[in-house]
Structure 1
Amino acid sequence: MIPQHRADTRRRRKALPRKALPLTVGLLSLSALAVQTAGPAAHPAAAAGPRPMTPAEAITDARLDAIRDDPGRMERFFTALPKGGDLHNHLSGAVTTEYLVELAGQDGLCIDTSTMTAVPPPCGGNARPAADARTDAEFHDQIVRAWSMEDFPPDGNGHDHFFDAFGKFGEVTWRNRGKLLADVADGAAKQNQTYLETMVTPASDGAKRLAEKVGWDDDLAELHGKLAAGGKLDGLVAEARREADDADAEYREAAHCGTSGARPGCRMKVRWISQASRGSAPARVFTQLALGMRLAERDGRFVAVNLVAPEDGENALAGYRLQMRMLKYLRGVYPKAHVTLHAGELWPGLVKPEDLRFHIEEAVGVAGAERIGHGVDLVHEDHWRRTARTMARREVAVEVPFTSNAQILGVKGDDHPFGTYRDFGVPVVLSTDDPGISRTDIGNEYEYAAETYGLSYPELKDLSRASLEYSFLPGRSLWRGNPTREGYALAGPCAGELPGVTAPGGRCRALLDSSEKAESQWRQEVAFHRFETTVGASGSGSESGSVPGSESGV
């Protein structure tokens, strides 16, 4: 099935003279045009022009041009395209809505028909058994529309409807973390992805109780000491690890991993990102962040922390600078933990002008974020050019989910800073955010980028490579230097190797064995080789519906 947003994208698509666009620039957005007319040269790479294509890339690029007016072939092409990892993904918002409805029925939950919210039994009054949705199609569709953007009117308040959905199905998601992961991992694997970083809230109730017990202290070092005293914070870590163990077991059972009937998601490499709600009281935010960073240093399944919930919320706006200071302090305590932050998920009219001036800058400069989620309001910040140059220099990637940016903020096409980031040499990775709520998939995000910004196949390939390069997988990269600035060239141990053509030599093999990141990147290159070979041999881009490269080994 073609997602509704994919069909809408085709209707909005402009006819673009793709070959006339420089590879590192793409279609200039209005904000990018401001860079060229009002500021210094964005980045040396912006004027470098396109890199030479390999013969296989040229054939694949020509095939993409040839099928761009055929929706079915475009969908198959972008499903088959190896797309690396999804680095911005909320587990509860990523699961398919139909599966949430089914789980609500399995768990014996009820639906409050006045709000379409899942509630515990017994059912009565306005509360109707969720299991009724199995036989009542109209009731089922009402739930799906309330829990997602399905059929949402284009002139409606997408922002509120999107965020309200989480509360409506929350009674389902906290009960079924492993089953949710099985569903989400399956979807990613079928989209020819191999890696997933997904956000959850570990030990949520325990962290709330501890925060209330300890209370707030303006001295962050003193506050952290109170949380850690007597093993209290370590107790939360242990609770979070038990939750992860239970979720892993449930996931493996639901996906039949290790059996002859293993589902596609069993091939996915998955890591957790601990999230804290930026709308909570300061003591709770700090406790959740401290827990997440402690977890990231003690359990390899957890890699980073993030702040979630609407960035335009009253508490989120009032506490933004304090939360950035919290993260600055905690990075000093937990230097091995990674930080990725929702920042700049704002737009004029949503908040006061003064709230548009500094969020990305402080996320990068104060909190030390290694990636930025959304970053939509970039050019509305006071020192945005300096911030963009800093991001480029430090290789702070921006996670771009086109569909949710359009649904929540109404920002798309020329208004989106996608081109501006690329002009400045900032790494960009495409992501899904909440594909269950958005009714989309990662293939649609790549197709949107190709059609809206006139990207060539090599540009799409490098966006996919970036999703692993800027992941939090441990180990050395397969790539040399700054690949966004210098291009994707194999690092010394693997220089001269031909992934997918020959087996890695001794020094390269040693790198792959010692680095999860390099090993995953090598597998991605093997997948690209198979994808390009399939396109070149058949001229179809996987016309049969198969996914070349999904079984790619080293």
Structure 2
Amino acid sequence: MQKNIASLKAVALAAAVFCAMPQGAHAASNEDIVKRHFASLVSGKEPKLAELTMFFTMMPKGGDLHHHYSGAIYAEQYLEWVDKEGYCVNKTSFMIDKTKETVASERAKPLAERACLSGQDILQDNTVLANLLQKWSDKDFYNHSAIQSPPDRQFFDTFGYFTPVASTNAAEGLKTLKQRAIQENLSYIETIYEIAPIAQDKAFDDKALAGGVTDADLAAFSAKLQDDKAYQGWIAAYLDNVKTSGAGIDDADFTMRYQPFALRFLSPSQVFSQMVSSFKLASSSPMIVGVNIVGQESVHVSMRDYAMHMQMFKFLKTKYPKVKLALHAGELSLGMVPPEGLTFHIRDAIDVAGASRIGHGMDIAHETNPLQIMKKMRDRQIPVEVNLSSNDFILGVKGAAHPVTLYRQYGVPFVLSTDDAGVSRNNLSGEFVLYAARYQPTYAEVKKLSYDSIRYSFLADADKQRLLKGLDGKFSKFEAEIAASQSKAAR
């Protein structure tokens, strides 16, 4: 009898000890199971791509920090907006025609005789839709033998096709992106949203192109813009657009923030005016958390004016020190531009403009003193937004040639992001699959990438802590599910 009592006491004591253990102790055992399972997926000559796809679709992924709103919307949704706006699409050029007379005339014709089709007409015609997707996205680029533009031109030219409707139904577009993000377990998007309000000044342009501009010139043009009522009205309209379109997007499961941007291939006054409005916007609303500059970096004007653009950012950063910059810099590869053009873009974005994050950062191996730059990025915790799909397509850089291998080796923080998921027809889970399959990281590394995408966001600290805490819970659930599936598989 005493032996039985002692035995019962021992069982009770063991149960009490187990219940008293911190919750993390049980979660850690699940994490260990997931670590071993993930290692089995990436090891060997052939990574298990189907299983990796399921794994990363299920895995919480934190945030997408390099995300272009217009490039994230899929062409099929843009075709729906073509009809909402009463436009049509020329079935030969695939350009959107907004002319009311053309639309009315074409709709009066039998379908077979129409040169300009509605979005629904295209969606229901598999051949025409396939041809349109080859223009409005990267789809089938490597899957047919027609005469094509170079990949970089194909990518950047897509925006010219859907731009006429890109800003027409923003509330619906943001809702779609939110639903898609939640479906793949993504908590946050920091989207490069709409082009910033713009103005032009010929005298400023003439001086800039003749010999450059001084801080005094920038100050004078800034003051002129301050007195421009139309320009100030556009800034107010932009703020209202973000507030109205973004209403209802944030909730317990998802958060979105916005970046206005300048187009780097425009005239100097246009670029600077966009920067001015971007900084003002970012300092006027908590929903607008940073400033960016976009556009193909390798074209003539972008290269010619790059140093001047960084000077402009420096000037405005002094006036608005709290505004964060996430600058596209170094989206270049050998042969795209003369060699000297590869030597300074990342450095100047950091040292001159004061960037807090670098978008792409592809030319780091060619920059002057790359080890020094990477040490500075590591010490200052300036991360790189790595976009594997677009880097592969636009620049032809992938695998061992991709500088993410350097950033990993030298301790530079980085995050994975989509760039333009609608153009590339991918998602963030797919970017994680590419990263895992190509570079065989540990589970700890990919989990850290998820958390870092929140840590390096431009969110307010309270929002960061809220999302990080949410990630803790999501990873506990995810790891428990994977561990349970492995336990069943082992039986």
What's the TM-score, normalizing by structure 1?
A: 0.74
1:361–1:118 CA distance, 2 compared to 1 (3 A): same
Paired residue for 1:389, among 375, 386, 390? 375
- Residue 92 (structure 1) aligns with: 70
Whether the aligned pair in 2 keeps the contact of 1:96 and 1:184 (CA below 8 Å) is no
Q: CA deviation at 1:329?
A: 0.4
Give, in whole Å, the separation in 1 of the partners of 2:203 and 2:125.
49
**How do residues 323-472 of structure 1 correspond to structure 2 at under 5 angstroms?**
323-472=309-458
Whether the aligned pair in 1 keeps the contact of 2:327 and 2:349 (CA below 8 Å) is yes
Matched, 1:153 2:153: no
Give, in whole Å, the separation in 1 of the partners of 2:381 and 2:218.
29
**How do residues 71-86 of structure 1 correspond to structure 2 at under 5 angstroms?**
71-86=49-64
- Residue 298 (structure 1) aligns with: 284
**How do residues 7-46 of structure 1 correspond to structure 2 at under 5 angstroms?**
none
1:70–1:346 CA distance, 2 compared to 1 (3 A): closer
Give, in whole Å, the separation in 2 of the partners of 1:304 and 1:142.
37
Give, in whole Å, the separation in 2 of the partners of 1:269 and 1:191.
14
- Residue 170 (structure 1) aligns with: 163
Matched, 1:193 2:186: yes
- Residue 27 (structure 1) aligns with: none
Q: CA deviation at 1:136?
A: 1.4
Letter in 2 for 1:441: N
Higher helix content, 1 or 2: 2
Whether the aligned pair in 2 keeps the contact of 1:361 and 1:383 (CA below 8 Å) is no
- Residue 5 (structure 2) aligns with: none
Higher mean C-alpha deviation, range 389-398 or range 148-157: 148-157
Give, in whole Å, the separation in 2 of the partners of 1:391 and 1:112.
48
Letter in 1 for 2:33: I
When the two structures are aligned, how many residues end up with a matched partner? 435
Q: Deviations 1:376-397 (Å, cap 9, x if unpaired)?
A: 1110112211111111111111
Matched, 1:533 2:480: yes
Give, in whole Å, the separation in 2 of the partners of 1:541 and 1:109.
55
- Residue 289 (structure 1) aligns with: 275
Whether the aligned pair in 1 keeps the contact of 2:49 and 2:433 (CA below 8 Å) is no
Give, in whole Å, the separation in 1 of the partners of 2:351 and 2:49.
43
Whether the aligned pair in 1 keeps the contact of 2:39 and 2:443 (CA below 8 Å) is no
Paired residue for 2:244, among 223, 243, 246? 246
Q: Deviations 1:92-150 (Å, cap 9, x if unpaired)?
A: 00112222222223332211233212221423574333331132121122212211111
Work out which of the two has the higher radius of gyration on C-alpha atoms and give 1 or 2: 2
Higher mean C-alpha deviation, range 72-81 or range 265-274: 265-274
Paired residue for 1:58, among 32, 37, 54? 32
Aligned partner of residue 201 in structure 1, secondary structure: strand
1:105–1:410 CA distance, 2 compared to 1 (3 A): same
**How do residues 191-270 of structure 1 correspond to structure 2 at under 5 angstroms?**
191-202=184-195, 204=196, 207-208=197-198, 210-212=199-201, 215-216=204-205, 218=213, 219-229=217-227, 234-249=232-247, 252=248, 267-270=253-256
Give, in whole Å, the separation in 2 of the partners of 1:343 and 1:108.
38
Give, in whole Å, the separation in 1 of the partners of 2:31 and 2:442.
10
Letter in 2 for 1:468: I
Aligned partner of residue 438 in structure 2, secondary structure: helix
- Residue 519 (structure 1) aligns with: 466
Paired residue for 2:127, among 138, 146, 150? 138
Paired residue for 1:474, among 452, 460, 482? 460
Give, in whole Å, the separation in 1 of the partners of 2:308 and 2:395.
25
Q: CA deviation at 1:357?
A: 0.8
Aligned partner of residue 290 in structure 2, secondary structure: strand
Is there any run of 5+ residues in structure 1 with no aligned partner, and where?
Answer: 1-52, 258-264, 476-514, 543-554
Q: CA deviation at 1:214?
A: 8.5
Give, in whole Å, the separation in 2 of the partners of 1:266 and 1:141.
38
Aligned partner of residue 539 in structure 1, secondary structure: helix
Give, in whole Å, the separation in 1 of the partners of 2:350 and 2:41.
40
Letter in 1 for 2:123: R
Letter in 1 for 2:39: D
Whether the aligned pair in 2 keeps the contact of 1:404 and 1:438 (CA below 8 Å) is yes
Aligned partner of residue 88 in structure 1, secondary structure: strand
Letter in 1 for 2:127: E
Whether the aligned pair in 2 keeps the contact of 1:149 and 1:437 (CA below 8 Å) is yes
Give, in whole Å, the separation in 2 of the partners of 1:357 and 1:441.
31
Give, in whole Å, the separation in 2 of the partners of 1:212 and 1:386.
39
Q: Deviations 1:304-348 (Å, cap 9, x if unpaired)?
A: 111101001111011100000000000011111110100010001
Q: CA deviation at 1:233?
A: 5.6
Letter in 1 for 2:173: L
Whether the aligned pair in 1 keeps the contact of 2:91 and 2:128 (CA below 8 Å) is no
Give, in whole Å, the separation in 1 of the partners of 2:140 and 2:449.
30
Letter in 2 for 1:64: F
Whether the aligned pair in 2 keeps the contact of 1:108 and 1:131 (CA below 8 Å) is no
Give, in whole Å, the separation in 1 of the partners of 2:97 and 2:457.
37
% identical aligned pairs: 34
Q: CA deviation at 1:300?
A: 0.7
Q: CA deviation at 1:237?
A: 2.7
Q: CA deviation at 1:278?
A: 0.1
